[in-house]
Structure 1
Amino acid sequence: MKRKIAVVISARASYAKFKSLLRHLKRDKKCDLKVIAAASMNSLKYGLASDIVEKDGFEIDYRVESLTENDSLFGSAKTASATLNDCAIIFSQEKPDIVVVMGDRYEVLPISIASSYQNITLAHIQGGEVTGNIDEKVRHAITKLADYHFVSNELARENVYQMGEDKETIFNVGCPSIDIAKEILERGNIKLNKLVTGVGKDLDFNSEFNVVMFHPETEFLRDIPSNIKHLTNILSDSDIPTVWFWPNSDPGNEIITKEIRAKREAGLLKNCLFVKTLNPSIFLYLLSKANCLIGNSSAGIRESNFLGLPVINIGRRQEGRERGENVIDWNFDSEESLLELISKFPKNDFSSGNVYGVGDAGKQISKILMEVELISSKRFQKRPLAE
């Protein structure tokens, strides 16, 4: 009998981390793979990432249209509610053996609830990490709902273990998006000019360019207007061509996009090409060729470490997440000039790091998912208190 595994992709960034796993599960003749695209994956505003999944050869069995176009904390709660309702119905109908979720976005928690409350084995990828934002609460809540844990490094494994999870259910496999990064580096030259499209300046990707990825800090919504104004002012003064990715669907994203539009209408940010989304392979190849990544995306912490890309990490969103020497932190109240940092820091030469794995996570996760016992209950494993 085939093992039915439902993989739920709820955001464009998550697909980069799911891609190699999906490929291995699809190849396994004993796996009945079901792919569910939820929330912002189906939104034109965020690049309709579900279409990218299909173009890569994966059939989407269900599209959960649950994203509430309301740029507020209330909107996040409504999206979570709709996602829970729709995924509960799908799981009830499909009765998968295992549901697989990724990361720490707010809409992943209701997916996990829909699985756990129907006694379906839940596998969670990328638990145990520490960051800022609401993601911190969501990630650890999912860990307590999950039956199996696929973590990205040893520190994350220790954290999940310390949360009372059975060590036999925790697997340190690395980050699956490193699999794609490794393939990209081995593949070689890709012509980016026709593949990286958006609004703004036409860039020459054979010359120096930076990448900006700046998302809302949901715990500090009041700071977003001044912070994005500050950042756009600084980058308007930079003469380095820049690929600027549209922010994710977290509350506060419209504050960011509104300021970007205002600057563009005022004739500023002339050196920027604004992009909604890219195929994960193209995105990671773009990063591998970039001069520097500026912003607060986890891509600056994970994939950039493997790629040896200099990263200027801004603010508190990634605070606490393990990183390599290729990352330097900068805050909006820092005395050091960001513009000066942009010109100096990328001159450092960083080698490829392995903080988040070596590029074989998808294969490992697939094999384990096809072999593990199907469980849906667990008991807290008490640990000695630290003195």
Structure 2
Amino acid sequence: MKILTVVSARPNFVKISPLLREISLHSNIEHILIHTGQHFESNMNDVFFKLFNIPKANYELEISGGTPSNQIGRIITKAEKIFLDEKPDWVVAVGDVNSTVATSILARNLNLRLAHLEAGLRSFDETMPEEINRIITDRLSYLLFAPDKFAVKNLKTEGIDESKIKFVGNIMIDTLDMMKEEAMKINTLADYNLSEKTYALVTLHRPSNVDNPSRLRSLLNALTNTAKQYGLKMLFPMHPRTKENLGIDGIKAIESQKEWIISKPLDYLESLSLLLRSRLVITDSGGLQEETCVTGIPCVTVRSNTERPITLVENGGTNRLAKTIEEIPEIIKKSLNSEAVPFRPELWDGRTAKRIIKLLNEQR
């Protein structure tokens, strides 16, 4: 059996690592890896391939920059001959980024069997490019690997053939379980003059939060004031998009506040190490909502919605939504004053990759 996957953005590497490890245990499976280059500087490629022990890609498309539509079109154009030459038994689309939907459209146009890893997630906000990518990919897939019961329900509600829906659990947690022990061995707190449980780990990169300079300044001001109130440090690994939108003067203004510590973007292991030692996570990332849920770290998601409702406090998790900037102080207060305990939803057991490969083998 031949499986073809396409990776691009950082979350793809986190999700595909356990899958590749499981594939390596099956002598009957040949794996073809295409790397698009989306979202990465060349030096970051090597970091992620090495960190997750991912073999060198069979094909490099070297696509970066451009609008989402432009990226999708170029991926389809460059990958078409590869798909035709390789003739995979399964094409696995990963997550919800531009390469995901490009992979899906191309696979179906070539009449190749398509499986979607992380199917059924819905924010119900179609202004988000990721939401459109999810919907399209799910509609085109022959197998839909859903991470939780909410995702399964969404797919059924949308009329997806139930025989195609496979509840397999969350592959991000496979990676977390593999890397957690290693993450605890490294301790970079001294690099930032921090001690455990005295800081919030902050990540912001969504266009809705960082592309409007006025909103971004208001958001950071709200976090600064809250940090002062609770004596927290704010450790802020700054995403390139956020850095560009803040500009030199904006970054200097933040760095002048003693509550803030600005760092370079972190690799997965560094990020996990700092997450595990933090008092609180403030984010607009999807993956961090899941990781804080399983590790029992309070999480404030600066968004009006989430495609991962299973992580919310009302469903047993540690995640609260700050839907407006005005809500941020109160939501942080609740998060700091409430007990947060680790919560593992059903099948978030570190065996998702095994279930996926078993299903692909059975239906080849």
Q: Which has the higher helix share?
A: 2
Q: TM-score, normalised by structure 1?
A: 0.80
Q: Is the 8 A contact 2:200 2:279 kept in 1?
A: yes
Which residue of the partner structure matches residue 335 of structure 2?
Answer: 345
Which residue of structure 1 lines up, in the alignment, with residue 102 of structure 2?
110
* Deviation sequence 1:171-211 (CA, Å, 0-9, x none): 111110111223345567322319x9xxxx72435452211
Partner of 2:280: 292
Aligned-residue offset at 1:358: 2.5
- TM alignment of 1:51-130, pairs within 5 A: 51-59=47-55, 60-68=57-65, 70=66, 75-130=67-122
| Partner of residue 365 from structure 1, selected from 351, 356, 359 | 356
1:263 aligned to 2:235?
Answer: no
User: Given that residues 9 and 15 in structure 1 are in contact (C-alpha distance below 8 angstroms), is that contact kept between their aligned partners in structure 2?
Assistant: yes
Q: Where do 5+ consecutive residues of structure 1 fail to align?
A: 374-387
Aligned equivalent of 1:145 = 140
> Does 2:159 match 1:164?
yes
1:318 deviates by 2.3
In structure 2, relative to structure 1, the CA distance for the partners of 1:55 and 1:293 (3 Å cut) is closer
User: Mean Cα displacement is larger for which, 296-305 or 265-274?
Assistant: 265-274
Q: Deviations over 1:14-51 (max 9, x none)?
A: 2112211111112221111122222425425xx72454
Q: Secondary structure at the match of 1:107?
A: helix
RMSD over equivalenced CA pairs, Å: 2.8
CA distance in 2, matches of 1:355, 1:290: 22
Aligned-pair identity in percent equals: 21
CA contact (8 A) 1:20 1:362 kept: yes
Task: Give, in angstroms, the shift of residue 317 of structure 1.
Answer: 5.4
Residue 147 of structure 1 and its aligned partner are, at CA, apart by 0.9
1:274 equivalent to 2:263? Answer yes
Asked whether the 8 Å contact 1:245–1:276 carries over to 2, the reply is yes
- Which residue, out of 35, 44, 47, partners 1:48? 44
Counterpart of 2:213 in structure 1 is 225
Alpha-carbon offset, residue 150 of structure 1: 0.5
**1:154 and 1:286, CA in 2 relative to 1: closer, same or farther beyond 3 A?**
same
Offset of 1:55 from its aligned partner?
Answer: 4.4
* Aligned partners of 1:192 and 1:205 also within 8 Å: no
Q: Against the structure 1 CA distance between its residues 241 and 54, is the aligned structure 2 distance closer, same or farther, given a 3 Å change threshold?
A: same
Residue type at the aligned position of 1:369 = L
Please tell me whether residue 24 in structure 1 is matched to residue 22 in structure 2: yes
Q: Which amino acid aligns with 2:343?
A: G
- 1:274: Cα distance to partner? 2.3
Q: Check whether the contact 1:42–1:63 (CA below 8 A) recurs between aligned residues.
A: no
Q: Structure 1 residues 269 and 176 mapped into 2: Cα distance closer, same or farther (>3 Å)?
A: farther
Is the CA contact (8 Å cut-off) linking 2:6 and 2:99 kept in structure 1?
A: no
CA distance in structure 2 between the partners assigned to 1:58 and 1:345 by the alignment: 37
SS of structure 1 residue aligned to 2:116: strand
